[in-house]
Structure 1
Amino acid sequence: MTDAPEGYRTTMTDDILDALRRRPPRVTVVGDVILDRWVRGTVRRVSREAPVPVVDARTVETSAGGAANTAVNLAGLGARVELVSVVGRDAEGAELVRLLETHGVGVSGVVRTADGVTATKTRVVGEDQVLVRVDRAPTAAPPGAHDAALAAIADVDALLVCDYGGGLFDDASAERMSLLNARPGLVLVDAHDVARWAMLRPDVVTPNALEAERLLGELLTPPRRDAVASAAARILSAAGSATAVVTLDAEGTVVLEGGRATGRTRAVPAAEQHASGAGDTFAAALALALCVGVSLPDAAAFAQRAADVVVGRPGTAVCTTADLEVGPSLLDHAELARRVDEERARGRRIVFANGCFDLIHRGHTSHLHQAKACGDVLVVALNDDASVRRLKGEGRPVNPLAERAAVLHELGCVDFVTAFDEDSPVSLIERLRPEIYTKGGDYTAEMVPEADAVRRYGGEVRILDYLPHRSTTATMARIIAGRAPGGGATAT
């Protein structure tokens, strides 16, 4: 049971995305939906009424949560999606339906009840810290309220059941759904109580650590991945499922097939507050990868990449095909400006760095990590190949623009990558207006041609620490001369 090498995972991701474009799967999602609200602002004082921070609210965002989030992630990855659920005939229900339609999700199966209450989760965020969450519980749906809508949607490639205990399902739901006229090609269950769905005989279940413990009736002792692997047969038996992918938050996942563990994934570490909805994204991506015929371990690796995308973003985020392509992080300036505006609206500080970044070395990575620490979102602008050649001479760059962008994209500290064709990115800086512009310690503020532009709009120029004797030119010279960094001969 080993992790696939990065190059293999990248190639596999491209293959899955190509297959999804050629034939977008038809998917039905049935489950509990939530309207997520994120109220964001600044905190500058404490209330006199109680020892609590006062949030000066700047933005209010709404997003689809629960099964609705699974549906919009499926649509973002190219599937043709129908959602079956029940919401209230209230303002929250109307907003949720609007969000679903905006994302291209079919809502003919969403039943609106006159006396129902739509579930909401409102998070108040001050200075990027969740201070309080206010939940409004939904009204329990009448038994079988969604059955007619579900039965009307047939001939799909996959059915995803998202049972989060919101009142849509009862203990007889699995039996009723097992009596549908035609079983979809894939049945995936993502449920708080996975055992409730054993009668449905799902093809795959995706319990998290707590849900796996509920199936086993005991705690997972550390290391949890080993505990899951040891209990593989028992987990599958209790779930009534042929296969499972057990998700363990920052520890990644364990793939279970045939009563044993057959694979695992590793997750990109992220703050807990950024993990909202990551499980929904994972289930959506897993289902689509399985629909195009890849193995379960490969599907889990694809789903992990999708989940890693959304945990790197604030709020309840959506992963799209563009997020998973190699190099689409090389954004054009219009798309980059749009994303920067979105991040700034959330109260996040934008940091800008630029350069050739040809052969990545420790000086580069030190610079980028320091730059990210100056704010919240790091934008890196790359000189295009022609401008590198003008600056560095013939034979440069060693790596073309797409390769350089792909390498930077793999660094966890880099959020967005773009390119510019001038000798200086002044026009791009004036368009984005980053709060902080960074330059390496081999410069002074007086040497930076972009400094005046940054100061004109009120930005700040920061000169970062410098690691001497580290440069692409020096690295190339050592390679050509066959020398190691310390002066000895390199090994061949």
Structure 2
Amino acid sequence: MTAPGGPTTGTEQTDARQLVIVGDALLDRDITGTADRLSAEAPAPVLAAARSTDRPGGAGLAAVLAARTPGWQVTLICGIGQDQPGAQLRVLLDEAGVEVIDLATSGTTPVKTRVRAANRTLLRFDTDADPLPLGPLPNSARTRLAEAAAVLVCDYGCGITAHDELRQALTAAAGDRPLVWDPHPRGSIPTAGTALAVPNADEALHFTGHGGPRDLAGDTARAVQLLAAWPVKQVAVTRGRDGAVLVADVDGHPLAVPSRPAAGDTCGAGDQLAVTAAMTLAAGRLPSHAIAAAVDAATDYVNAGGPTAPAAAAHPSDTTGPLELAARVRARGGRVVGAGGCFDLLHAGHLSLLDQARRLGDVLIVCINSDASVRRLKGADRPVVGERERAALLSALDCVDDVLVFAEDTPEKVLAELRPDIWVKGGDYAGRRIAEADLVESWGGEVVTVPFLEGHSTTTRIQHLTQQAGAR
């Protein structure tokens, strides 16, 4: 059991990056069963074959979601009541590999119970979420904040974000690492230096009192108001199925981030979004990239089944590299697709190839030749577009999940690392034995070709442009 003020941990990951999550931990309980008739006593469904499942909730759920990400060690600074639900919560967090630093000295643990049937919530009832008595901030918490690659605050309105010493430590931590703040109407405003605040639309409405339309314009106006009122660098209002809107300057244009369709249990989607945003910022990416990755991750989380799924669906983001992404997809039974080439001067033929390749599996990793490799293959005047820009352009395509750059003239080495289930080439290779086929087939993969668009060639296009320039 966690001692107040002291850490406990599951599996140690000494070489992992550190994410510190600060917030209110709850115990979530789902009572699920079948409901195919109404009670004779009242017009209420009768739940049959009911079973109860407990899991960490609030900031505890965010910590569990973060701990599922390879390469990250997660510490949760929270308060947990000294009661049976608190004891159960500690066990669940320890089993998930989350280190816990508990500030509570007594009190009861909030429990949120949902009664569900047919993937729908019929009833929810909560125990009182009174603020827990909290002790002083221990040195272990200060140490973890100093070690963190990123800090995430998940405020659930139970009082921990009002802790004076903790707020001072968060302000200090925000000086040289990204701090993401997920606020709550009953909680405290973000501390100074917060890189990104991520209120949802209802929370933004509560904090601003701005009663404008509940649409993109209204959410943008509320984000601008919060940016002016809070000591934060950027504000992203999350909009559920409509994605998010990010504001970085009160006088600038907002960044609208649409979401893909999602259907499923949305409980915890905001936590997944906040976790992904914090990890992406820790990777050195811009807040615009972080919010785009976070919206995608939250969508995948919902589509995978929400909190009841064994793990959130892997989705490309800046929190993992292409090899780690491929391993995650393969571990959950997905198919990894690979495609390769120079992709110099991206054109419609490339887009057609990549779009068809992505449909063959669950993730598409594109392997591209480095600049030096392209020069050896194509000549001293190539590539026209450098490898970093080529990789960025490919990564921006919806059909491309990640990009690998290889320095060799042929992709055998990178293929041996990626080990795709399917290796895709353009239809101009049809009828020929592809050089790397033996290698791909050695681990049970297959090589296929897809139809290609006639009349699209980078070399031909460059020659045409050169002739046009010479004619002038």
State the TM-score bracket (shorter-chain normalisation).
Answer: 0.5 to 0.7
The one of 242, 248, 253 equivalent to 2:239 is 248
Are the counterparts in 1 of residues 76 and 100 from structure 2 also a CA contact under 8 Å?
yes
**CA–CA distance in 1 between the matches of 2:236 and 2:432?**
55
The alignment status of 1:415 with 2:401, answered yes or no, reads: yes
The one of 241, 259, 271 equivalent to 1:269 is 259
The alignment status of 1:148 with 2:164, answered yes or no, reads: no
Q: Which residue of 2 aligns with 1:5?
A: none
Q: Which residue of 2 aligns with 1:226?
A: 217
**CA–CA distance in 1 between the matches of 2:334 and 2:164?**
50
Count of residue correspondences: 399
Q: Tell me the secondary structure at the aligned position of residue 352 of structure 1.
A: strand
Q: Tell me the secondary structure at the aligned position of residue 187 of structure 2.
A: helix
Change (3 A) 1:67 1:273: farther
Q: Tell me the secondary structure at the aligned position of residue 86 of structure 1.
A: coil
**CA–CA distance in 1 between the matches of 2:93 and 2:66?**
15
**CA–CA distance in 1 between the matches of 2:97 and 2:455?**
54
1:342-421 superposed matches below 5 A: 342-421=328-407
**CA–CA distance in 2 between the matches of 1:405 and 1:304?**
20
1:60-71 superposed matches below 5 A: 66-68=58-60
Range with bigger deviation, 265-274 or 364-373: 265-274
Bigger RCO of structures 1 and 2 (CA < 8 A, at least 6 apart): 1
Change (3 A) 1:255 1:65: farther
Q: Tell me the secondary structure at the aligned position of residue 428 of structure 2.
A: coil
**CA–CA distance in 1 between the matches of 2:226 and 2:107?**
40
Change (3 A) 1:431 1:63: farther
Structure 1 residue 112, shift from structure 2 partner = 10
1:1-400 superposed matches below 5 A: 29-32=22-25, 66-68=58-60, 83-86=77-80, 88=85, 93-97=90-94, 99=96, 101=98, 107-109=100-102, 132=119, 140=127, 143-145=130-132, 147-148=134-135, 162-164=154-156, 169=158, 173=159, 177=162, 183=168, 185=171, 190-192=182-184, 194=185, 196-197=186-187, 206-213=198-205, 221=213, 224-230=215-221, 245-249=236-240, 250-255=242-247, 263-267=253-257, 269-272=259-262, 276=269, 277-281=271-275, 284=278, 300-301=287-288, 303-305=290-292, 307=294, 310-311=297-298, 315-316=311-312, 323=318, 336=323, 338-400=324-386
Structure 1 residue 409, shift from structure 2 partner = 2.3
1:180-212 Cα offsets, whole Å, 9 max, x none, are 6975537976345x2x236x6866863212333
The alignment status of 1:471 with 2:457, answered yes or no, reads: yes
Q: Tell me the secondary structure at the aligned position of residue 358 of structure 1.
A: coil
Are the counterparts in 2 of residues 247 and 253 from structure 1 also a CA contact under 8 Å?
yes
Are the counterparts in 1 of residues 205 and 222 from structure 2 also a CA contact under 8 Å?
no
Change (3 A) 1:109 1:383: same
Q: Which residue of 2 aligns with 1:17?
A: none
Structure 1 residue 371, shift from structure 2 partner = 0.9
1:344-381 Cα offsets, whole Å, 9 max, x none, are 12222211111111221121122111111111100112
Q: Tell me the secondary structure at the aligned position of residue 272 of structure 1.
A: coil
Q: Tell me the secondary structure at the aligned position of residue 254 of structure 2.
A: strand
Which stretches in structure 2 are left out of the alignment for 5+ residues?
1-16, 31-35, 37-53, 302-310
1:276-297 Cα offsets, whole Å, 9 max, x none, are 33432377479989xx9xxxxx
**CA–CA distance in 1 between the matches of 2:456 and 2:384?**
16
**CA–CA distance in 2 between the matches of 1:116 and 1:247?**
28
TM-score, normalized by length of structure 1? 0.60
**CA–CA distance in 2 between the matches of 1:181 and 1:448?**
60
Are the counterparts in 1 of residues 66 and 74 from structure 2 also a CA contact under 8 Å?
no
Which stretches in structure 1 are left out of the alignment for 5+ residues?
1-23, 38-49, 51-61, 124-130, 293-297
Q: Which residue of 1 aligns with 2:8?
A: none
Change (3 A) 1:197 1:361: same
Q: Which residue of 1 aligns with 2:42?
A: none
Write the letter of the residue equivalent to 2:202.
L
TM-score, normalized by length of structure 2? 0.62
Q: Which residue of 1 aligns with 2:411?
A: 425
Change (3 A) 1:439 1:154: closer
Write the letter of the residue equivalent to 1:29.
V
**CA–CA distance in 1 between the matches of 2:164 and 2:408?**
64
Are the counterparts in 2 of residues 282 and 303 from structure 1 also a CA contact under 8 Å?
yes
